[in-house]
Each structure stands twice: as structure tokens, then as C-alpha cells.
Amino acid sequence: MLLVGYCFGIRSERRLCEEVHLNLAYRWFCRLGIEDEVPDHSSFSKNRHGRFRKSDLFRQLFEDVVRRCMSEGLVRGEGFAIDASIVQADANRRRGVPREQQIDWNDPLRGSRAIREYLEKLEQDGQIGAPPKNISLTDPAARWTAAPGCPAYFAYSTNYLVDVHAGVIMDVEATAANRTEETQVTKTMIDRVEDQLGIKPSRLIADTAYGTGPMLGWLLDDKKIEPHIPVWDKSEREDGTFSRSDFTWDERADEYRCPKNKPLRREWRAFSKPRTHITKAETIIYRARELDCGSCPVKSRCCPNMTFRKIPRSLYEAAREHTRMLKETPEYRQSRNDRKKVEVLFAHMKRILRVNRLRLRGRTGARDEFLLTAIAQNLRRLALAIPAHTTVEASG
């Protein structure tokens, strides 16, 4: 019955029970005879929030549907695309309080499941990313966010990992509407698909938010997956001075060369105790000599406000350079077109299935809704593919 509701955009559980009671096609799908009773909406809701959630039934059903898509040839496992979309939470934007305000979470009036889950996760993982500007008193796990030019609201993010051959959703996960969490969950989803379904893509397609050094290093070095992702790069300067790209890297000498062919090194003298020179930002700072910069004729274009030039080099710079090289390949250009298949699924979710605002609260509520939505989308894809496949076999 839940699948019927998510496939046909029936968001009210009370209305869903009425529709199944009257619609013979829905009864057939739910294996209910004409005289069989339809569950009361209150008991239906209790089961959904109780034993369905505790048994992890939705995750198991989602993976079974993906396996069926695989058996029908809808999954190639060659290219995956990852992206996230914000969905409004069931939290009144006017009921939020500033993060500086003290909140008594022990108040008996605030003993809901969503609040208990939020406090447990906060105690377990701590605060991920920057603290939110506002906190909801009814669903504190929802993140205060806003699209450009739109009013702010509380929301969650649904993260899709999609096989680009036929647009089958390989994994889905709910996170706060926070870029840090959205990129971190990518690793969880890729590992889970490999463990549960035995598939690892040869390329991953994503936007610039996923093009950080640690992510690119993990994909290339640990997973052997080619990242078809624009590199997150803030090294280019816009004030007319030399950018890092104006300096030449010498791998063998472990140094940069400036436009005047002067070296920049991580250290200029030997230390009694060897140092890594690795910063908290996972970079190594390469420095020029003050003597070289002081007498340089182009100092005003290189380091006008410093005595000598510094260049931070990421520990993952090799992975970043490899990713930049992929950008020139025809496969990369094709991947940029394939990424649209994820955006189409998000548009279908919000406009056709009407999942533009959540009905359940808390992270587990968001997870259940996103899983059911992804199941419905994969089933619709499967239903469109099977008749065509059967027709081809019959004609052959």
C-alpha cells in the first residue's frame, strides 16, 4: 500500500486507505480480495512507524528491486552519477530558534522521537559542518537552508547514486542539507553498493562540490574509480598577481619554479628531527627565499604584500592533476551529459510523485520517505522496460 501511495503521489495515509478500498487495481497489487478488509489508517500508520522501521524492511525491498533491474539488463555498472536535492522538512520555519539560544531538551514537552534521535546522533557523531543558524524545536535534525533568491526553511537532502545507463537508482541516503554530509555519504553509498550488490563503477560523475582533494584521492587511490568531476580549485587569483598555475612543479626536485625560475621548497635547511610540513588543511607550504623575492623585478605582481611567496600544495595534488587531465577526454564530455539523468529523477520526485515536502520527522523519517520514493521510481523504470523486453523476445 505504501508503494501504491508513492508511485501515484498519494501523500495522505487516510486517503491511501480509501483509494485501496475502492480501486480494484490497487487491491490486486496489494493481494487483497474484493471482500478483504483494508487496514485502518491508524493501525497502518503504527505499523509504518513501528515494525516496518525496526526491521529495515524498506532498505531490503529497495535492494531487491535494484537486483531485479540488474537481471533485466537496466544496470551496466560502468558509470555512476551522484548528486543531492533538498526537500523541505515537516517543520514550521517560524518555530525555529537562533543557535545562540539555550534550549532545554529535557523538557517533557520535547520528548518526541525526532528529538531523541537528534540528541543520540549529536552525542555519537558530534556537530558535522558549521553549526546551523536556526534550530527547529520539532525536528532539530533538519537543516536551516535556502536556495538563492528564496526564503530559508528547514530541510533534508536526499542523495542519489544512479547508474547512468537507464537511470536506475543504485543507492539512496538521507542527510542534513549540508554539503559536508552530502559529500561524506558518497563513500558510504559506493561501498554499500559494492558490498551488497557486487558492483563498482569505473567512473563517478558529480558536480564541483564533490571535487575536493580528499574525495578525488579516495576515488583514484583507494577505489580505482575515475572521477569525472570538476576539480574544486580556489588557487586562481583575480587581483592581477601570479596564480599557482604560473609556477612550474618539478616532481623530481620536489619544488616549484617561479616565472623567474627561482625555486620554492618545503624546507631550506636540514632539521635534526625530520618534519612532514603537513598542515591541518592537508597541504604542504612551499616557500621562496626572502633574498630571491626581495630583489625580484616582478615582486609587485607576485607577492606585493609579503616578503616572500608561498604556495600551498595539497597532499592530493596528484589526484587533482589526473582529474584535470580527464577533462579533455570525450568520455568526460559524455559524462557531463549523463549527469542530467540524476536531475531528471529529482524533478520527477518533486513534480510527479509530489515529494516536495516530507510528512515524517527526524532523520529516520526522511530516510524511509526517500527509500520509498526511490523504490517507486525504480519500479516505474522497471515497468516501462519489461514490456518492451518481452516484445523483443516474442518477435525474435
Q: What pLDDT is attached to residue 388?
A: 53
Q: Give Cα separations from 24 to 9, 15, 34 (angstroms).
A: 18, 15, 8
How many Å apart are CA 143 and CA 134, to the nearest integer?
A: 8
How many Å apart are CA 85 and CA 209, to the nearest integer?
A: 13
Q: What pLDDT is attached to residue 395?
A: 43
Residue type, 326: L
3-state secondary structure (DSSP) of residue 274: coil
- Which of 380, 385, 371 lies closest to 348 in space, CA to CA? 380
3-state secondary structure (DSSP) of residue 303: coil
How many Å apart are CA 170 and CA 67, to the nearest integer?
A: 9
Q: What pLDDT is attached to residue 45?
A: 78
3-state secondary structure (DSSP) of residue 30: coil
How many Å apart are CA 170 and CA 77, to the nearest integer?
A: 9
Q: What pLDDT is attached to residue 392?
A: 46
Domains and CATH numbers, the chain: 1-55 (no CATH), 74-230+327-396 (3.30.420.10), 244-316 (no CATH)
Give me the tens of pLDDT residue by residue for the chain, a chain 396 residues long. 888 988 888 888 889 999 999 999 999 999 999 889 998 888 877 777 777 777 788 899 999 999 999 999 999 999 999 999 999 998 888 778 887 777 776 776 666 778 877 777 777 776 666 677 888 888 888 888 887 777 889 999 999 999 999 999 999 999 988 888 888 899 999 999 999 999 999 999 999 999 999 999 999 999 999 999 999 988 888 888 999 889 999 989 999 999 999 999 998 888 878 887 888 888 999 999 999 998 899 999 999 889 999 999 999 999 999 999 999 899 999 999 999 999 999 999 999 999 999 988 888 889 999 999 999 999 999 988 876 545 445 444
3-state secondary structure (DSSP) of residue 203: strand
Q: Give Cα separations from 282 to 211, 248, 273, 278 (angstroms).
A: 15, 21, 20, 6
Q: What pLDDT is attached to residue 391?
A: 45
How many Å apart are CA 344 and CA 381, to the nearest integer?
A: 13
Q: What pLDDT is attached to residue 223?
A: 94
Q: What pLDDT is attached to residue 381?
A: 92
3-state secondary structure (DSSP) of residue 90: coil
